[in-house]
Amino acid sequence: MSNEDYLKDISEIKDLMNKSSRFISLSGLSGILAGVYALIGAAVAYWLVINHSGGLLYIFHGWVFWTCMAVLAMVAILSVITGIILTTRKAKKNNEKIWDNSSRRLLLNFLIPLVVGGIYCLIILDQGRYGQTGGLMLIFYGLALVSASKYSLGDIRYLGYIQIVLGLIASYYPGYGFWLWVIGFGIMHIVYGTWMHFKYDSK
């Protein structure tokens, strides 16, 4: 065997290791769109609170609270739908199956911290500690990303770290929770999505 053959062997080994253990068809574009939805949602919530709730970003009441929750849910649902559509499209292009061992593992490892965090946020909201939710959402979302990164593009781990740090700051300064949420879910998604898009998708 020549040197080139050995090189080919090594690159094939790497490729197989990745393909068999990681789901890599995540779409950068869906990250950008998720960030845009988050920004729009945050703008709507901000407007509502400023005009109808006395301008305090962490004291909600009555219908304003429920409308904000509905907006939040809309942002989440839209992001998930966009993610599924764009990822399916990319997987088809990559000849990767959308539902196999690697995507199942990815989803499971992503959802465990996320669902736990979601339930915890609901409990906190039920206790009326609204100021904490922004930080908690960031922290658990960050943990979910870190936990999922082993089964997908390794880069999302760093997005996870950023979200965790933002979340911890938000927990300490609940008054800035809203703005940190905007940075984490809005701006960071757009920045990261753009980066991923140029790194992987545009090739």
Contact positions with another protein (CB under 8 A) in 84-143 = 100-101
Residues whose CB falls within 8 Å of the CB of residue 36, separated by 6 or more in sequence, listed in order: 186, 190
Q: Which is nearer to another protein, 51 or 101 (CB)?
A: 101
Helix (H) or strand (E) holding 163: helix 156-172
157 near another protein (CB under 8 A): no
CB of 19 to another protein, least distance (A): 6
Single residue of 11, 12, 55, 77 touching another protein by CB under 8 A: 12
Which own/partner pairs from 197-202 qualify as long-range (CB within 8 Å, at least 24 positions apart)?
Answer: 197/27, 197/28, 197/29, 197/31, 197/32, 198/28, 199/28, 199/155, 200/24, 200/28, 200/153, 201/27, 201/28, 201/29, 201/90
Q: Which is nearer to another protein, 96 or 201 (CB)?
A: 96
Q: Which is nearer to another protein, 7 or 73 (CB)?
A: 7
Contact 166, 180 (CB under 8 A): yes
CB of 198 to another protein, least distance (A): 27
Question: Per CB under 8 A, which region of 4-12, 80-88, 127-135, 185-193 contacts another protein?
Answer: 4-12
DSSP 50-119: HHHSTT-TT---HHHHHHHHHHHHHHHHHHHHHHHHHHHHHHHHHT--SSSHHHHHHHHHHHHHHHHHHH
CB of 99 to another protein, least distance (A): 13
Contact positions with another protein (CB under 8 A) in 21-60 = 21
CB of 1 to another protein, least distance (A): 8
CB of 150 to another protein, least distance (A): 10
**What is the torsional sign of CA 136, 137, 140, 143?**
negative
CB of 2 to another protein, least distance (A): 9
Q: Which residues bind another protein (CB under 8 A)?
A: 1, 3, 6-7, 9-10, 12-14, 16-17, 19-21, 100-101
